[in-house]
Amino acid sequence: MTNNLFVAECDIKKFYDTVNHDLCIRLFEDLAEKSKGDCSISSLKSAKYVFKEYLNSYNFEDVVLSKGDAYWDKQFHSNKKRINGVFPWIQKDISGNEFYRTNPNQKIGVPQGGALSGLIANIVLDKADKELKSIPDLFYVRYCDDMILMHSDENLCIQSIEIYKKALKELLLFSHPFETTFHTSNKSYSSKNRIVPLFIINQIKNNRFLRKINCGFDRLIKKYFPNFGIRRKINYNVTFKHSLKKFWNCKSKGPYKWGKLDIQNCTFPWVGFVGYE
């Protein structure tokens, strides 16, 4: 029995914008087939009709990506200035995918925030959920397209990540790259060796006449004390700051060890899921 706990987090790139319609309908029909014993034929028929009409009402490439400069020229801020709008897109992922290269003109994307959004996420990602059941003693939670998994065995945690990534590929989805190292190279800043005495700095800063004529503080120091440097932060090491920034900014990460903060050994005291830490 080990006290270690390894964590991985995954966020899917543009999940709702990349849901493939044909794939989603096929998965929905599989689910409907399994529900025949619990629902009437007329209910299933109605559900299929509503679901397909919902998907057919929206295509991301037509509704969103087709918006060019002419569209944005009509959009204004309250001050009548043109909005310099753009829709970020994962064109490289789409064009580099073998399925989309051989099967162009696919309808993709579903509306976000609708009544069926959560249902669609569960229908599409059910395959990934079930694949991960093969890992014993795995703690796995998913909310829509965000997931987190934990295991006491680092190797099994890594194996779980690979299973999840493989399932996403089969579902024509794209995860953000998993970051596994967060320790950045050492960076530091030092002030000059010769520093203006602090009492002189304070006298200049507190002089009413100098404030009144709005003379720049740094310019005055350079003028009257050309051989001295201005007092600055000394040997400020930003490795820690940059490493934490990398940890929080990456969308998918792991496995990392949960425990007392030790960036070099990829150990962090936080677990993030759906905006909560």
9-38: pLDDT as tens digits: 999 999 999 999 999 999 999 998 888 878
How far is it, in rounded angstroms, from Cα 45 to Cα 58? 21
Query: pTM of the entire structure?
Result: 0.74
Bridge partners (DSSP) listed for residue 76: 82
CATH topology of domain 1-19+110-181+243-277: Alpha-Beta Plaits (3.30.70)
Domain spans in the chain, listed from the N-terminal domain onward: 1-19+110-181+243-277, 188-237
Answer for the pair 147, 8: CB distance below 8 angstroms, yes or no. no
User: What do you get for the CA distance between the two ends of the chain, in Å?
Assistant: 26
249-260: pLDDT as tens digits: 888 999 999 999
- The dihedral over CA atoms of 167, 170, 176, 180, expressed in degrees to the nearest 10, equals 40
- The count of residues in the chain is 277
137-155: pLDDT as tens digits: 999 999 999 999 999 999 9
220-230: pLDDT as tens digits: 666 666 655 54
193-247: pLDDT as tens digits: 445 555 565 666 666 665 555 556 566 666 666 655 544 444 445 567 777 888 8
Q: Residue 5, SS3?
A: coil
